[in-house]
A and B are shown apart, each in its own frame.
Chain A
Amino acid sequence: MSSKWFSLVCLALLLGGCDVQDDLLPSGSDERPTVSIGTVGIEPGQIAADFTLSDSLGNPFTLSDQLAGGAQAADAVVLYFTMWCPICLGHSDHLLWEIEPRFRARGTVRYVLVDYVSGSVVATRSSEVANGYSGSIFTTLADSHQALFRQFDAAMGTTIVIAADGTIWMNEDYKDGSKLSAMLDGLLP
């Protein structure tokens, strides 16, 4: 193979049909969809559909119970989708040690870990304990059939903030937690 061939291989990699152009030439344009405020959906500004899942102890957890008028009404519900990976645990530790103390004196926030990989309440409980979250501020839900995962079009690290009236304020990756912090700051009394 000559150096010409070597160059051609490099060029083919850059321009080839590997569906890689999105990262080779990344875009910073805002392409978020326009949504109808107040309709049921998953985007910020929309209303979260109600759901019920079991927590890691087998107790039912229903979203509407946590919202205004519910039996355990909170000022905000924070859902964090975890697969117990290093990135996930970095995020949930940050939630536990940085975010929750910052807003502890400002109303009631329900912090919820959504385990979408373990497949059963028992396995979710096992992961919760193994990772040191048993007895913590977190309620850990067993999304055994990934129903909630699909409902919110979630992925590893997806963080959703739901206000007391059911409005979604945030639905995106946790990143460094600054957006979650800003959302709670604007939402809590």
Chain B
Amino acid sequence: MAMQLAKLAPLVGALFIPLGSVHAASCCGGGSASSLIMAKSSQRMVAASLDIEHYDGLWRDDGHWVPDPTGSDLNQYRLNLGYAQRLADRWQASLNLPYAVNANHYGGVSSDTQGFGDASLNVLYETFDDITCVYQVNTIEDLKPAVYLGLGLTLPTGISPYDDVSDNFDITGRGFYRVDGSLQVEKTVFPWNAAFGYTYGRYLERPVNREYGRYVEPYHKRLGDRRTTMLSFGRSFHGANFSTWTATLAYSDMSEDHARIDGHLDPTTGLQKRSYAFTLAWANVSKSWVLKGTWSHAPRSDDWGRNFPTTDVLTLGVTHVL
């Protein structure tokens, strides 16, 4: 039994912790990468995924949903590459780098641009020594979840409005460093699984002396603090040759406070997006390979977001434990 559970353990991060499902608009940045979580028994892991994000309308500041301009077709494609490395029994680190392609067509203008997005570095601390997946709950101890504490740093490696760009169609990043603190709680009572995640991010203030390639009177800007909450439930099924299929339904809520310019609150900023996602994943018998597809959907309805584009994201990904 212990051996079987040990084989299940690699699924924890790869299957149940959904990919980040909220991204900034290609008109306002985007290209953000999600963090990787590696199983307890793994030493190294590589990951690759392709996001296909389609924009369809937006939420006004009061939550009212409105369609995009007539004749528009707005998309961002992201290739995300990731690598995770175990540092110690309870510590792991990962690096994620997206490459974004913006393909935007409006009635009067078309634009296809590309470049690296904002990379992220993450360090994760596991609060447990033994795997927490169980087949049956016989004691209180069996209910103990896997708890991860994370620290992340987003690097402004993307193309931002403050670079030497001609307009917003070129943008693939937001231009700010961000420090994230995260809590992830996950429990598997095979075949069922539940996970909860909360991330609080603080952008660091930076000087700005250029907007869309034109030099302006210098000022200091800091984007608002970002909060992301995620809840997911999943069920696994045995497949052929002892492979595993897992279906997961997740809900996420991301919000960002008002930005500050020279210390003064910018009332035109702040945002929110709520969405849900369905993931279907396949893992081989050793769980060293995981293939998955995620469909993240944000309803085109009032009050599912605020001051943010409405998007659907199809993600096709693979992870491999080395």
Residues of A with Cβ closer than 8 Å to B? 1, 3, 6, 9-10, 13-14, 18-20, 22-24, 26-33, 83-87, 89-91, 93-94, 98, 116-120, 123, 126-127, 130-131, 144-146, 153, 155-156, 158, 171-178
Contacts and interface: CB of A to CB of B under 8 A. Distances in A.
Interface string B153-177: 0011111111110111000010110
Contacts of A118: 69-71, 106-108
B95 interface: yes
A153 B72 contact: no
Contact of B173 (A10, A23, A127): A23
Pick from B60, B108, B219 the residue with the most CB of A within 10 Å. B108
Nearest to B265: A176
Contact of B121 (A10, A32, A117): A10
B155 A173 contact: no
Nearest to B216: A172
A32 B70 contact: no
B302 to A, nearest CB: 14
A127 B69 contact: yes
A27 to B, nearest CB: 6
B175 A28 contact: no
Contact of A172 (B44, B155, B217): B217
B151 interface: no
A95 B27 CA distance: 21
Contact of A119 (B109, B157, B211): B109
A175 B72 CA distance: 25
Nearest to A24: B156
B168 A26 contact: no
A90 B268 contact: yes
A26 B268 contact: no
A118 B105 CA distance: 10
Nearest to A127: B69
B215 A117 contact: no
B167 A176 contact: no
